[in-house]
Amino acid sequence: MKIAIGNDHAATDMKREIIEFVEGLGHETINFGTDGYESCDYPLFGEKVGRAVASGEADCGILICGTGVGISLAANKVKGIRCGVCSDTTTAHLIKEHNNANIIAFGTRIVGSEKAKDIVRAYLEAEFLGGRHQQRVDMIMDIERR
Residues near ligand RB5, by CB under 6 A:
8, 10, 42, 65-67, 69-70
Instruction: Kindly state the smallest distance separating residue 82's Cβ from ligand RB5, in Å.
Output: 18
Nearer to ligand RB5, 30 or 66 (CB): 66
Catalytic site residue from 9, 27, 98, 133:
98
Per-position DSSP letters for 24-35, written without gaps between them = HTT-EEEE-S--
Catalytic site residue from 60, 65, 83, 86:
65
Nearer to ligand RB5, 40 or 54 (CB): 40
Nearer to ligand RB5, 41 or 57 (CB): 41
Q: CB–CB of 75/49 below 8 Å?
A: yes
Q: Report helix, strand or coil for 22.
A: helix
Give CA torsion, residues 54, 55, 60, 64, to 10 deg: -70
Give CA torsion, residues 35, 2, 92, 39, to 10 deg: 20
Active site annotation includes 86: no
Q: Which residues are catalytic?
A: 65, 98
